[in-house]
Copies of this chain bind each other. A is one copy, B any other.
Amino acid sequence: MSAPQPVMSAAELNDYIFEVYPQILDQYPGHQVMLVEPGRVVVRMDTDERHIRAGGTVSGPTLFALADMGGYSCVLSHVGREALAVTTNLNINFMRKAEPGRLEADCTILKLGKRLMVFEASICVEGSDDVIAHATGTYAIPPK
Protein backbone atom coordinates (compact mmCIF):
# COMPACT_ATOMS: atom_id res chain seq x y z
CA MET A 1 0.00 0.00 0.00
CA SER A 2 1.30 3.45 -0.78
CA ALA A 3 0.63 5.52 2.33
CA PRO A 4 -1.97 8.28 1.99
CA GLN A 5 -0.54 11.78 1.48
CA PRO A 6 -1.20 14.57 3.99
CA VAL A 7 -2.80 17.81 2.81
CA MET A 8 -1.85 19.96 5.84
CA SER A 9 1.39 20.45 7.77
CA ALA A 10 1.65 20.05 11.53
CA ALA A 11 1.70 23.85 11.94
CA GLU A 12 -1.42 24.32 9.81
CA LEU A 13 -3.15 21.53 11.70
CA ASN A 14 -2.35 23.05 15.11
CA ASP A 15 -3.76 26.41 13.97
CA TYR A 16 -6.91 24.75 12.66
CA ILE A 17 -7.50 22.63 15.78
CA PHE A 18 -7.16 25.63 18.11
CA GLU A 19 -9.60 27.54 15.88
CA VAL A 20 -12.37 24.90 15.76
CA TYR A 21 -11.77 23.33 19.19
CA PRO A 22 -10.58 26.13 21.50
CA GLN A 23 -11.49 24.13 24.64
CA ILE A 24 -8.66 21.70 24.01
CA LEU A 25 -5.90 23.63 25.77
CA ASP A 26 -7.97 24.24 28.91
CA GLN A 27 -8.65 20.58 29.34
CA TYR A 28 -5.42 19.20 27.93
CA PRO A 29 -2.52 21.64 28.38
CA GLY A 30 0.42 21.26 26.08
CA HIS A 31 -1.66 19.56 23.41
CA GLN A 32 0.26 19.80 20.15
CA VAL A 33 0.61 17.96 16.85
CA MET A 34 4.34 17.25 16.62
CA LEU A 35 4.64 15.45 13.29
CA VAL A 36 2.61 14.83 10.14
CA GLU A 37 3.94 12.30 7.62
CA PRO A 38 2.24 10.20 4.92
CA GLY A 39 -0.14 7.96 6.88
CA ARG A 40 1.27 8.97 10.29
CA VAL A 41 0.78 11.65 12.94
CA VAL A 42 2.39 12.18 16.38
CA VAL A 43 0.53 14.22 19.00
CA ARG A 44 1.52 15.05 22.57
CA MET A 45 -0.20 16.20 25.77
CA ASP A 46 0.96 17.26 29.23
CA THR A 47 -0.69 15.66 32.23
CA ASP A 48 -0.73 16.91 35.81
CA GLU A 49 -2.63 16.31 39.06
CA ARG A 50 -5.93 17.03 37.29
CA HIS A 51 -5.45 14.02 35.04
CA ILE A 52 -4.75 11.32 37.60
CA ARG A 53 -7.09 8.69 39.01
CA ALA A 54 -7.15 6.76 42.29
CA GLY A 55 -3.62 5.41 42.76
CA GLY A 56 -1.88 8.50 41.37
CA THR A 57 -1.56 7.35 37.76
CA VAL A 58 -2.84 9.00 34.59
CA SER A 59 -6.56 8.30 34.17
CA GLY A 60 -8.21 6.28 31.42
CA PRO A 61 -10.24 9.20 30.05
CA THR A 62 -7.03 11.23 29.70
CA LEU A 63 -5.36 8.48 27.67
CA PHE A 64 -8.55 8.07 25.64
CA ALA A 65 -8.53 11.82 24.92
CA LEU A 66 -4.96 11.66 23.62
CA ALA A 67 -5.71 8.66 21.38
CA ASP A 68 -8.86 10.36 20.09
CA MET A 69 -7.02 13.62 19.34
CA GLY A 70 -4.47 11.50 17.49
CA GLY A 71 -7.21 10.03 15.32
CA TYR A 72 -8.78 13.46 14.78
CA SER A 73 -5.36 14.78 13.72
CA CYS A 74 -4.96 11.85 11.30
CA VAL A 75 -8.23 12.54 9.55
CA LEU A 76 -7.86 16.34 9.41
CA SER A 77 -4.25 16.23 8.19
CA HIS A 78 -5.05 13.75 5.41
CA VAL A 79 -8.58 14.80 4.37
CA GLY A 80 -8.55 18.54 5.08
CA ARG A 81 -10.53 21.03 7.17
CA GLU A 82 -13.38 18.69 8.13
CA ALA A 83 -13.93 19.79 11.73
CA LEU A 84 -17.12 17.72 11.91
CA ALA A 85 -15.41 14.38 11.32
CA VAL A 86 -16.54 12.28 14.31
CA THR A 87 -15.33 9.18 16.10
CA THR A 88 -17.73 6.29 15.54
CA ASN A 89 -15.78 3.63 17.48
CA LEU A 90 -12.73 3.54 19.69
CA ASN A 91 -11.25 0.50 21.40
CA ILE A 92 -8.47 1.02 23.93
CA ASN A 93 -6.29 -1.37 25.93
CA PHE A 94 -4.56 -0.03 29.05
CA MET A 95 -1.30 -1.86 29.67
CA ARG A 96 0.95 0.04 32.04
CA LYS A 97 0.53 2.74 34.66
CA ALA A 98 2.00 6.17 33.98
CA GLU A 99 3.03 9.01 36.27
CA PRO A 100 1.79 12.48 35.27
CA GLY A 101 4.06 14.14 32.69
CA ARG A 102 4.35 14.55 28.95
CA LEU A 103 2.74 11.80 26.84
CA GLU A 104 2.96 11.10 23.12
CA ALA A 105 0.63 9.19 20.81
CA ASP A 106 2.17 7.78 17.65
CA CYS A 107 -0.72 7.21 15.22
CA THR A 108 -0.91 5.30 11.93
CA ILE A 109 -3.70 5.41 9.37
CA LEU A 110 -4.75 1.81 8.63
CA LYS A 111 -7.37 2.74 6.03
CA LEU A 112 -8.45 6.02 4.49
CA GLY A 113 -11.70 5.52 2.58
CA LYS A 114 -14.25 8.02 1.33
CA ARG A 115 -16.54 7.53 4.29
CA LEU A 116 -14.40 6.03 7.07
CA MET A 117 -10.83 6.33 8.33
CA VAL A 118 -9.36 3.61 10.59
CA PHE A 119 -6.27 4.32 12.71
CA GLU A 120 -4.20 2.88 15.52
CA ALA A 121 -2.39 4.79 18.28
CA SER A 122 0.40 3.75 20.65
CA ILE A 123 0.77 5.97 23.72
CA CYS A 124 4.10 6.27 25.54
CA VAL A 125 5.71 8.61 28.05
CA GLU A 126 7.87 11.05 26.00
CA GLY A 127 11.30 9.51 25.56
CA SER A 128 10.23 5.95 26.47
CA ASP A 129 9.03 3.17 24.17
CA ASP A 130 7.00 1.29 26.77
CA VAL A 131 3.46 1.33 25.44
CA ILE A 132 1.10 2.56 28.18
CA ALA A 133 -2.06 2.25 26.11
CA HIS A 134 -2.93 1.13 22.59
CA ALA A 135 -6.05 2.15 20.71
CA THR A 136 -7.73 1.52 17.38
CA GLY A 137 -10.58 3.65 16.17
CA THR A 138 -12.76 4.77 13.29
CA TYR A 139 -13.70 8.29 12.20
CA ALA A 140 -16.67 9.03 9.93
CA ILE A 141 -15.79 11.59 7.26
CA PRO A 142 -18.65 13.99 6.44
CA PRO A 143 -20.10 13.60 2.91
CA LYS A 144 -19.10 16.36 0.49
Contacts and interface: CB of A to CB of B under 8 A. Distances in A.
Contact of A90 (B92, B116, B118, B131): B92
Contact of A1 (B26, B59, B130): B130
Nearest to A111: B95
Nearest to A27: B50
A35 interface: no
Contacts of A91: 89-92, 136
B64 A50 contact: no
Interface string A25-59: 01100000000000000000000011011110001
B92 A89 contact: yes
Contact of A23 (B27, B50, B118): B50
A-B pairs with lowest CB-CB distance, top 3 = A61-B65, A95-B111, A91-B91
23 contacts: A1-B131, A21-B54, A23-B53, A27-B50, A54-B83, A54-B84, A55-B84, A55-B86, A60-B65, A60-B87, A61-B61, A86-B94, A87-B94, A88-B93, A89-B89, A89-B93, A89-B94, A93-B111, A93-B118, A93-B136, A110-B131, A134-B136, A138-B138
